[in-house]
Amino acid sequence: MTAHPSIARPKLILATASPRRLALLQQAGLDADALLPADIDETPHRGESPRAYAIRIASEKAAAAAKLRATRPELKDSFLIAADTVVAVGRRILPKAETREEAEECLQLLSGRQHRVYSAVSLITPRGYERKRLAEARLRFKRLGSTEIEAYLSTGEWRGKAGAYAIQGRAGVFLVKIVGSYTAVVGLPLHETLSLLAGEGYPVLAPWFAMA
């Protein structure tokens, strides 16, 4: 078999320290050349909808990372991706749980009911143009007993997670139904991310897709 030549591509920055977003990007056959986590204020604005909040935070993360990119000459001509994932019940935005009490409140609220996850992606091109996409998923958890909630809380898996759960982890057993993008719930909607990159001429096909 003739070896397939490597596909030349511009550098790619992921504006996060999240291992799950990096793993999703790698699942799509792409590797980040640099990680530039953005430290911004993620407090929701008064009356801000979950959709608007997700888009705004992803955009602000991208803008903050772009400032860091400007200080790195080797990343001058790179593409930059930032994302934000929001768990919401109605118009209520659930926090990225940092305390056991916050996590317990989130799980009790999600128990036996439907909620939505909004995952926004912001792409900043080498020329500084921004493109944005939003993915949405509807999920329903089974009714959770106090024993199940306590068992999940004891894992610590909820810490720092929107809505106090990681669907790709042990909380997956709570899921009764999902309509929409699974990767959006994990943290990086791959269809929307790859569409943005492809729309700007970035080679998104993984090498094994291109092999004869």
Catalytic residue flag (residue 84)? yes
Q: Are the C-beta atoms of residues 191 and 135 closer than 8 Å to each other?
A: yes
Alpha carbon distance 166, 175 (integer Å)? 11
Please give the angle made by the CA atoms of 101, 83 and 137, to the nearest 5 degrees. Answer: 70
- 33, 39, 77, 84: which one is catalytic? 84
Residue 162 DSSP one-character state: B
- Contact present, 75 and 69 (Cβ < 8 Å): yes
- How would you classify the pairing of strands 130-141 and 12-14? unpaired
Contacts (Cβ under 8 Å, ≥6 apart) of 178: 137, 138, 139, 140, 185
Tokens of 43: 């407090």
Q: Which residues are catalytic, by number?
A: 84
